[in-house]
A and B are shown apart, each in its own frame.
Chain A
Amino acid sequence: MQPDLAEAGLILLSFIIPLLLVILAMPRSIRYLTRSGRVVDDVHKQPPTKVPFPVGPLLFLGALAGEIFVYIAFGSLVPLAVIGGAAIAFAIGLADDLFVLGGKTKPLLLLFAAVPLVVSGVFQKNLYESNLTFPLLGHIGEHFTIYILLVLVAFPVVANAFNMMDSFNGQISGFTLLTSLALLFGVVLHAIADSSFSLARVASVLPLVAIAAGFFVFNRYPSKAFDGDSGALMLGAMFASLAITGGVEIAAMIAIVPAILNSFYTLSSARGFVERRRMAARPTHLGEDGKMYPSLEPSSPNTLIRLILLSGPLDERDLVKSIFILTAVACLLSGAISVLTWVH
C-alpha cells in the first residue's frame, strides 16, 4: 500500500507531534519535579547524584497526543486500542511509583492492559487477526481462543520485561527506540505486502518511536530524568499492542529477546516475582573505581547485566553500550524475520 502525499504528511505528523511534545516539555517537567523534591538517587554514580523522577506522565502525554492524532487522521480504532492498554499500564506503573506495589500484584493487574485491545476487536473485526504469520511458511490457521489467551498473557510479560530493562542511564529509552524501529520495519513490510492493511496501523507505531527518541535525549548517560515504572510499563504495553495490531508478533518477540532473557534470568534466580527493592541481594555492585562488578553473592539474581559483567567490569556507559549491541543483534534478527515473512 502506497500513501498519497496527504497521507504521507499525516504519517509524518504522527511522529513529529509526540516527539516535539516530549522534547519541548521535558525541561519544564524536569524543573517541576526537581522543585517539588521528586528526585531519586542515581545509585550507579560515585557519589550518587539526584535525578528527577518520574517523567512517565509526560511520556504518556506524548503517546496520547500521537495516538489521538492518528485516530483523528485515519479514523481507525487501532490507536485507541493501543493508547487504552498503555493508559492502564501507565496507571499501574504510576501507582507503583507512588506507593510501591507487590512483586505479584503488578503482573496480575497488567492483565487488564489487554482489555482495551480485546474489547476494541469486538467493534472493529479486523483490528487484529487471531493467527500468526511465520517466515517462509505463511499463515497458520485461526486459533481464536488460544490467540486471545496469548494476548492476555503478552501484556504482563512484555510490560514487565520492559520494566526490568530500566536499570541504567539510557537503557530503557535506547532499548525501546531500537525495538520500536524493528517493529516499525516489520509493520511497514506487512503494509507493503498486504493491500488491505490500513495505514493507521503503520502510523500508530510512530508515537512509540517518537517518545522513545525524545526521551533518549534526556535519559542517556548522564541521565537528566528517569521514567519510573509508569513510563517503562506503558512503553511495554504499547509495544505489545502494536505488535498485535501490526500482525508482526513473531518479529516483535524476537526483537525483545534480550529483555525476555533478562526477565527469565531474574525470575528463575529470584524464584518468582519479587519486587526488585525486596531482593535479598543485588546482581551487581559499584566498585570504588566507578565501574560495575558482578555480585559474588550466591543468592544474587542472575540478570543479563550480571552475565555481561562476568566478562569483565564496565563503567555504566560501556555497560549500556553492550546492552544496545545485544538489542541491535536481536533487532537485526527481527528484521530478517520480517523480510522472510513479508517479502516474497
Chain B
Amino acid sequence: MKLASLIGIEAVAFLLIIGETYLFFMAIIPLGPVPHSLAVYTAITLLKVGLTFGLGILWLAVMVSLTRLYVRSRLRTRTPTPSS
C-alpha cells in the first residue's frame, strides 16, 4: 500500500503529540517546589521554558528525520516525469 509509510509517520506524530502534551501539563508546568527567592523562581521558569522548547525540538527532529528517510527512500525508486 503506497500510503503505509505516510500513515506510519502520521501515527508517530499522533503518539508524540499525545505524549508530549501530557508531559508538558503533568511534568513541566508543576515542576519544582514553591520558589522562595527571585533567583530560584527565575531558574525554575527558565528550566520550564527550556524543557518546553526541548519537547518542541524533539517533535521537529523526529518529524524531519522520518520525512528525510521517507523522501530518500522514495526518490530512490521514483520514476522519471514526462515533463521534466
Contacts and interface: CB of A to CB of B under 8 A. Distances in A.
Interface of A: 132, 134-135, 137, 140-141, 143, 146, 250, 253-254, 257-258, 260-261, 264-265, 268, 285, 287-289, 293-294, 296, 302, 304, 307-308, 310-313, 322, 325-326, 329-330, 333, 337
B83 A285 contact: yes
A259 B49 CA distance: 26
Contact of B67 (A257, A285, A302): A302
Nearest to A337: B18
Given A289-B82, A310-B71, A322-B3, A261 B9 contact: yes
Interface string B3-30: 1001101110110011001100110011
B83 A287 contact: yes
Contacts of A134: 18, 21-22
B78 interface: yes
A132 B23 CA distance: 12
B60 interface: yes
B16 to A, nearest CB: 10
A311 B84 contact: no
B11 A333 contact: yes
Specify the main secondary structure of chain B where it touches its partner.
helix
Given A134-B22, A250-B21, A287-B81, A261 B70 contact: no
Interface residues of B, number: 31
B84 A261 contact: no
- Listed from nearest, the 5 A-B pairs whose CB atoms lie closest are A310-B74, A311-B2, A293-B81, A140-B25, A287-B83
Contacts of B7: 326, 329
A292 to B, nearest CB: 10
Interface string B72-84: 0011001101111
B81 to A, nearest CB: 4
Nearest to B64: A268
B49 to A, nearest CB: 12
A312 B79 CA distance: 7
Given A143-B29, A326-B3, 13 more contacts: A141-B30, A250-B21, A253-B17, A257-B14, A261-B10, A261-B13, A285-B83, A287-B81, A307-B67, A307-B70, A308-B3, A312-B2, A326-B10
B51 interface: no
B74 A257 contact: no
A333 B79 contact: no
Nearest to B7: A329
Contacts of B11: 333
B63 interface: yes
A313 B81 contact: yes
A258 B84 contact: no
B27 to A, nearest CB: 11
B13 A260 contact: yes
